[in-house]
Amino acid sequence: MARIAFERLAHGYPGSSAYALKPMDMVWEDAGAYALLGPSGCGKTTLLNIVSGLLRPREGRVLFDGQDVTGLSTERRNVAQVFQFPVVYDTMTMRENLAFPLRNRGVPAAAARARVEHVAGLLGLSGMLDRRARNLGADDKQKISLGRGLVRDDVAAILFDEPLTVIDPHLKWELRSRLKELHRQVPVTMIYVTHDQTEALTFADRVVVMSEGEVVQVGTPEALFDRPAHTFVGHFIGSPGMNFLPCAVEGDTATLAGGHRVGLPRGYGALAGKVELGIRPEFAAIARDGLPVTVRRVEDLGRRRIARVELDGVPFAATLPEGMAVPAEPRLALDPRRLHVYADGRLAEGEG
Ligand SMILES: Nc1ncnc2c1ncn2[C@@H]1O[C@H](COP(=O)(O)OP(=O)(O)OP(=O)(O)O)[C@@H](O)[C@H]1O
């Protein structure tokens, strides 16, 4: 188990002057469950490979429990890895595959056997341990890969790189929950790379959101939802994502582009750059009183309905309350406690 720290860490690939990973300082606590979340190309794999030792950063240091491991190999760092695609020995049984990392480390047979059966149980593989890996489907093979990553409890960290990519959609939910359960039982530092917010939010205690080579927020799933630190996080987390309305802010009042005034829950000093009001669709409802909007369409998402509206010509997603038909003169009611102000994409703190 390890506390992982990055000191002025940055990376650029040979032949490119641009940063694939912009300079950063960050700490991941021992035994935490972290997800690295962001769109394709934002630098997740680069950061993961720097943690595992597959890639040496161009600048800065990586520390495991205070020890500089920047120049150490994956093996010397003692990290386990699970990749997108199964890595299994076809000629071995499932049991032998799962026991392999333990045998390699000289774990006594009885302890190894117990550990393999425990992990197999958690992954739903108990009844099939003596089957040859060669005869298995992609789902089961990937479960073995996951099991091999999880079977040692003496590792500094377990790194997962989009581990559910090949898993059948209906099994994904089950495996996500099992991984979370496993982390509760074996509190090893786990780092899980994904571009899928559901996977990140189910698995992680702390989600590291990345955009264009930069960590834009590290927070609990609740914090990312309640207080996105950056407009990118607001857009990326939630479905639909947060709404942003261009505005001018003076004290505790925002004036929207069309001239409507909105009371804010706190006061703000002078704000530089592009100023926007942010609110999630969950806290903006179609109503009979409020800001006038035009409803373009209503989407039924099963448990809730989302009205796609326009406010002063700006597209906006709002909640259509249960049982309500779209009124003849639809209005938008904003929950004032849930309003946030952003200046040049960053959350403005405000006072009060
Ligand atoms: N070996 C490489 N050589 C040059 N550039 C690279 C290399 N690997 C990644 N990059 C670039 O670095 C940036 C970050 O890539 P990275 O693979 O870390 O992102 P990612 O978030 O993991 O994306 P994905 O989800 O598609 O894997 C991208 O612009 C990518 O093109």
Question: Looking at the domain assignment, is residue 98 inside a domain?
Answer: yes
On whether both 245 and 218 belong to a single domain, the answer is no
Question: Looking at the domain assignment, is residue 73 inside a domain?
Answer: yes
Domain that holds residue 257: 239-347
208, 235, 262 - which closes a domain: 235
CATH of the domain at 116: 3.40.50.300
> CA-CA-CA-CA torsion for 20, 26, 32, 34, nearest 10 degrees?
-30
Question: Measured from the CB, is residue 42 less than 6 Å from ligand 1?
Answer: yes
- Residue 173 is predicted with a pLDDT of 86
ipTM of the complex: 0.97
Tens of pLDDT, residue by residue, the chain (352 residues): 799 999 999 999 999 889 999 999 999 999 999 999 999 999 999 999 999 999 999 999 999 999 999 999 998 999 999 999 988 999 999 999 999 999 998 999 999 999 999 999 989 899 999 999 998 999 999 999 999 999 998 899 999 999 998 899 888 888 888 888 888 888 899 999 999 999 999 999 999 999 999 999 999 999 999 999 999 999 999 999 999 999 999 999 999 999 999 999 999 999 999 999 999 999 999 999 999 999 999 999 999 999 999 999 999 999 999 999 999 999 999 999 999 999 999 999 988 7
Question: Looking at the domain assignment, is residue 17 inside a domain?
Answer: yes
- Residue 143 is predicted with a pLDDT of 93
Query: For residue 183, what is the DSSP state?
Result: H
Question: Looking at the domain assignment, is residue 352 inside a domain?
Answer: no
Is there a contact between 166 and 86 (Cβ–Cβ < 8 Å)?
yes
Residue bearing the CA closest to ligand 1, atom 11:
20
- Residue 178 is predicted with a pLDDT of 85
On whether both 250 and 221 belong to a single domain, the answer is no
On whether both 78 and 106 belong to a single domain, the answer is yes
C-alpha span between 311 and 272 (Å, rounded): 24
CA 78 vs. chain centroid, Å, equals 24
On whether both 187 and 39 belong to a single domain, the answer is yes
Asked if residue 240 has a cis previous peptide bond (ω within 30° of 0), the answer is yes
203, 235, 267 - which closes a domain: 235
Question: Measured from the CB, is residue 141 less than 6 Å from ligand 1?
Answer: no
On whether both 79 and 168 belong to a single domain, the answer is yes
179, 210, 235 - which closes a domain: 235
Question: Measured from the CB, is residue 159 less than 6 Å from ligand 1?
Answer: no
Q: How many domains does the chain have?
A: 2
- Give distance in angstroms: CA of 4 to centre of ligand 1: 22
- Give distance in angstroms: CA of 212 to centre of ligand 1: 10
CATH of the domain at 304: 2.40.50.140
List the beta strands (DSSP E) in 12-162.
21-28, 33-37, 59-64, 67-68, 79-82, 157-161
Q: Residue 213: which region, alpha, beta or left (left: phi > 0; alpha: psi -120 to 50)?
A: left
Question: Measured from the CB, is residue 20 less than 6 Å from ligand 1?
Answer: yes
Question: Looking at the domain assignment, is residue 107 inside a domain?
Answer: yes
> CA-CA-CA-CA torsion for 257, 262, 268, 273, nearest 10 degrees?
-20
For 199, phi and psi rounded to 5 degrees?
-60, -45
Query: Which atom of ligand 1 lies closest to the CA of 36?
Result: 21
pTM across the whole model? 0.93
- Residue 310 is predicted with a pLDDT of 97
Mutation test residue for ligand 1: of 42, 160, 191, 211, the one with most atoms within 8 Å of CB: 42
